Structure 1
Amino acid sequence: MTLLALGQLRRRPAAFAGLAVALFLLLATTTLFGSLFATEATAPTARRAPVAGPGLRVIAGAFGEIAVLVAFFVVVNAIGFALRRQHRELALLRTIAATPRQVRRLVRVQIVLTALAVAAPGALAGVYAAHGLLGALQRRGMAAPALDVPVTPLPALVALAITLAVGLAASAVAVRRISRIAPAAALTATTTEQGRTGPPRLVAGVAALAGGGLLLRLSATRPPDELDKAGQAALLGSLVLLVAVGLTGPLAARALVAVLGAPLRALLPGTGWLADANLRGHARRLTSAVVPVALLVGLSATMTIMTRTAERAAGPTGAASATDVWLRQAELALLTCFAAVSTINTVVAVTGERRREFALLRLVGATRRQLLRMLTAEALLTTAVGVLLGATVAALATAAFSAAATGSAMPSVPAATCGAIVAGAAALTVPGILGSGLRAIRGPAAELVGGGRD
């Protein structure tokens, strides 16, 4: 299995590039916060001093918890696309008597090898970031000046163990479908999309919606002197709601495209109609592209609006200090980084795997210019759906936090910053889809339809 996995990694490095980046970020982040935790935990009592803010261990624990949850979300997505790029090969293995257990073992070996490949650079990046973040915290009085990051491999080893655990857990989710269906059906499934959202997925989606609602209720009912707890509950609630969006996405995304696509079909009767039909006809593919955009917009907008609302609630009392605001901005930068990587990985993978589809359209008379117009319409619709879903989650989460902070469900919304978030999501999504599309429509159409190139 190791030799077969190595062969797949060497033959398809691009298929695992997004996964490698996601695992690298997870490993670097967990090394970063593990190093900060070790900094305070191993420091002699003489080096510790009273500081402003919650302290290194609390910061490392809170940030690390959210980072691992978001990273799991991103890694699951990346593994799913790595598998989709080799779906046909895995299906062929099933047809030549490979058992489901062997397929799952092959995927696990691929995850382990990819994680080991990024272990050293990820650990180094995490330690370097820990030194930088510790210095920033010390300059703001949030860490004792005498503290220093300890020279120990333990945080990196723990981070590697967490990365492997997340990767293997995510692979179990991603490989479930192809490893359980019959061999002939597995080969057929490489060219078709399952049309319906299964009952287990819908039940999980409803459960996630309920869980997110409970977390937001918990946030809204916190007293004003527990804003940190209200903020953490609201942020976790938004993340759980975004998981629910991913689970129930095919239904919601198809409905939104039907509404948003109507003016597009009227303005562009040809390419607009085709773009709308493509998105609605491939709801799962649409959801794969929409969810990272919703994650980026939802988390970024939630953190931004919560920060502004906390500042308004503080008013002249100064309850929200500059250090609190800085911590929220640092957490926002971290979460945005994960969400941006997921968005780029997804839109590139989703568009790149449509080469045969584009080649078939060219064989029936579509020009490259028409295909690019169709992709532009699809990119705009995809961005709009993702922004709407993310904005809805952000609105619910920040309303709950505002109720706790100010007694009103109307949060303070920095319009310019939120506009920049939407523009950033569009800047990642639209060029990513068009750039991948330009690459995907290159080459002879007949050869691509025949499977001569991938």
Structure 2
Amino acid sequence: MVPIALGQMRRRPAAFVGLAVALFLAMATVTMFGSLFAADLAAPAAVRKGADGPGLKVIAGAFGEIAVLVAFFVVVNALGFALRQQHRELALLRTVAATPRQARRLVRGQVVATTLLTAVPGWVAGAVAARRFLAELQHRGMAAPGVRIPGTPVPMLVASAAALAVGLTASALAARRISRIAPAAALTASATEQGRTGAARLVAGAGALVGGGLLLRLAATRPAQELDKAGQAALLGSLVLLVAVALAGPLAARVLAAVLGVPVRVLTPGAGWLADANLRGYARRLSSAVVPVALLVGLSGTMTIMTATAGHRPSGATATGVTSATDVWLRQAELALLICFAAVSTLNTLVAVTAERRREFALLRLVGATRAQLVRMLSVEAVLTAVVGVLLGAAVAGAASAAFSRAATGSAVPTVPVAACGWIVVGAAVLTVPGILATGLRAVRGPAAELVSGGGE
């Protein structure tokens, strides 16, 4: 299985680029915050007392908690698409007598190989980022001048072990379906999409929804003196709600696409009708595309609104770290890191989803569709995808920021910075629409008959 696994990676390098970038970011993130944690542990007590604030260990833990979770969320998403683009090949292996265990072993080999390839660059980037971040903290008086990043390899080893564990767990879940069904059915399934969302997935989505709601309730009931904890609970709750969106995404995407498709079919009768039919007929594919957009909008919107709400607290309220200039800087740095992860996930997903439709585009061309018509159809699909993703992300951000606002001001109506939120929506649209169109233009090139037969892949 190892030669076959490596052969697949050489044959489809684009399918593993997103996974490699996601693993690199995850490895760098864990290395960075692990190094900061180790620096605090290694520093003498007398040195650590030379700084104001909660301490480097607390900052690294609070700052890295959400960032690490998002990083591994991106890894799982990227791995799912790497396997999805190999679905047909894995199905063919099953038809020529490959056992389910061999199929899973092939996938594990690809995950291990990709992790090893990204380990050293991730370590280096994480170590450099830790030193620069520590220097910024020291410059702002949040870390003692004498603290240094130790030379221990423990953070790097922990980062590698964590990335490998998440990758192997995700690969086991992703390869489960293709390895358990009959070979002939696996080959048929590679060309079709199931019409219903599985009961187990819906139950898990409901559980995540309840968990996110409990976290938001915890955030809303925190006293004003614990506003930092309220912010962390609200941000973690938004991430859990986004997991619920990912699990129940096909159902939610189908409903939203049906609602938005009515005006689209009226405004653009030709391309709009075809785009609406594609989005509703392939709800799982639409869900895969909108979840990263929702992640980008949900997390960045939550942090932006929370920061604005904390800054507009009543003047008589007790000042906390949330409203201090240093904490605002920390929130901005964390927001920049989360946007980086979400942007990588969005671009990787949209490129993968659009690129795997080469045969579909070729079939449309064979039955008379022109390239210009396909581009118009893709334009409508791209706009609808962006709108659905923004709506889902805005719903999550609204719920999380309302919970935080309840703790901060006593009112569930947060302070919404309209201009900043507008830029978030614009950023999501800029990532979504051009990404889909650029990949689509590349996918419609080449002889249609050759693409349908598989020779263009």
**Structure 1 length as normaliser, TM-score?**
0.98
Aligned to 2:133: 133
Q: CA separation in 1, counterparts of 2:175 and 2:225?
A: 46
| Helix, strand or coil at the partner of 1:152 | coil
Q: CA separation in 1, counterparts of 2:156 and 2:269?
A: 56
- Match runs of 1:173-252 below 5 Å: 173-252=173-252
Instruction: For 2:335, give the aligned amino acid.
Output: L
Instruction: Map Cα deviations across residues 366-420 of structure 1 (whole Å, 9 max, x no partner).
Output: 1111100000000000000000000000000000000000000000000000000
Please state how far the C-alpha of 1:270 moved relative to its aligned partner: 0.6
List structure 1 runs of 4+ shifted beyond 4 angstroms: none
Q: CA separation in 1, counterparts of 2:387 and 2:224?
A: 35
| Helix, strand or coil at the partner of 1:270 | helix
Instruction: Map Cα deviations across residues 191-219 of structure 1 (whole Å, 9 max, x no partner).
Output: 10011011101111111111111111010
Q: CA separation in 2, counterparts of 1:35 and 1:198?
A: 41
Note if 1:340 corresponds to 2:335: no
Note if 1:287 corresponds to 2:290: no
Q: CA separation in 1, counterparts of 2:115 and 2:132?
A: 24
Note if 1:257 corresponds to 2:257: yes
Q: CA separation in 2, counterparts of 1:11 and 1:364?
A: 30
Aligned to 1:439: 442
Contact 2:91-2:183 within 8 A present in 1 as well: yes
Q: CA separation in 2, counterparts of 1:45 and 1:205?
A: 45
Aligned to 1:68: 68
Q: CA separation in 2, counterparts of 1:165 and 1:56?
A: 27
Instruction: Map Cα deviations across residues 111-150 of structure 1 (whole Å, 9 max, x no partner).
Output: 0100100111110000000011001101111100111111
Instruction: Map Cα deviations across residues 67-89 of structure 1 (whole Å, 9 max, x no partner).
Output: 22212221111111101111111
The number of aligned residues is: 454
Instruction: Map Cα deviations across residues 3-43 of structure 1 (whole Å, 9 max, x no partner).
Output: 22211111211110000000000000000001101111111
Q: CA separation in 2, counterparts of 1:121 and 1:72?
A: 17
Aligned to 1:111: 111
Aligned to 2:421: 418
Q: CA separation in 2, counterparts of 1:54 and 1:368?
A: 59
Q: CA separation in 2, counterparts of 1:235 and 1:403?
A: 14
Q: 1:401 aligns with which of 404, 413, 419?
A: 404
Please state how far the C-alpha of 1:56 moved relative to its aligned partner: 1.3
Contact 1:53-1:324 within 8 A present in 2 as well: no
Please state how far the C-alpha of 1:261 moved relative to its aligned partner: 1.6
Note if 1:392 corresponds to 2:380: no
Aligned to 2:164: 164
Aligned to 1:378: 381
Q: CA separation in 2, counterparts of 1:206 and 1:121?
A: 38
| Helix, strand or coil at the partner of 1:337 | helix
Contact 2:55-2:143 within 8 A present in 1 as well: yes
Higher deviation after alignment, 267-276 or 253-262 = 253-262
Instruction: For 1:434, give the aligned amino acid.
Output: L
Instruction: For 1:300, give the aligned amino acid.
Output: S
Note if 1:14 corresponds to 2:17: no
Aligned to 2:325: 322
The Cα RMSD (Å) is 1.1
Instruction: For 1:115, give the aligned amino acid.
Output: T
Contact 2:290-2:388 within 8 A present in 1 as well: yes
- Match runs of 1:4-43 below 5 Å: 4-43=4-43
Please state how far the C-alpha of 1:66 moved relative to its aligned partner: 1.3
| Helix, strand or coil at the partner of 2:248 | helix
Instruction: Map Cα deviations across residues 90-124 of structure 1 (whole Å, 9 max, x no partner).
Output: 11111122111111111111101001001111100
Higher deviation after alignment, 62-71 or 90-99 = 62-71
Instruction: For 2:264, give the aligned amino acid.
Output: L
Q: CA separation in 2, counterparts of 1:38 and 1:19?
A: 28
Structure 1: runs of 5+ lacking an equivalent? none
Contact 1:53-1:323 within 8 A present in 2 as well: no
Contact 2:302-2:397 within 8 A present in 1 as well: yes
Please state how far the C-alpha of 1:280 moved relative to its aligned partner: 0.3
Instruction: For 2:393, give the aligned amino acid.
Output: G
Please state how far the C-alpha of 1:318 moved relative to its aligned partner: 4.2
Instruction: For 1:108, give the aligned amino acid.
Output: R
Contact 1:302-1:395 within 8 A present in 2 as well: yes
Higher deviation after alignment, 273-282 or 308-317 = 308-317
Please state how far the C-alpha of 1:250 moved relative to its aligned partner: 1.1
Q: CA separation in 2, counterparts of 1:83 and 1:429?
A: 22
Contact 1:72-1:170 within 8 A present in 2 as well: no
Instruction: For 1:229, give the aligned amino acid.
Output: K
Aligned to 2:372: 369
Instruction: Map Cα deviations across residues 147-172 of structure 1 (whole Å, 9 max, x no partner).
Output: 11112222111111111111111112
Please state how far the C-alpha of 1:255 moved relative to its aligned partner: 1.0
Q: CA separation in 1, counterparts of 2:20 and 2:180?
A: 26
Contact 2:405-2:413 within 8 A present in 1 as well: yes
| Helix, strand or coil at the partner of 1:38 | helix
Q: CA separation in 1, counterparts of 2:391 and 2:189?
A: 31
Aligned to 2:100: 100
| Helix, strand or coil at the partner of 1:191 | coil
Instruction: For 1:282, give the aligned amino acid.
Output: Y
Instruction: For 2:414, give the aligned amino acid.
Output: P
Q: CA separation in 2, counterparts of 1:233 and 1:173?
A: 28
Q: 1:453 aligns with which of 444, 450, 456?
A: 456
* CA pair 366-449 structure 1, distance change in 2 beyond 3 A: same
Aligned to 1:278: 278
Q: CA separation in 2, counterparts of 1:350 and 1:313?
A: 44
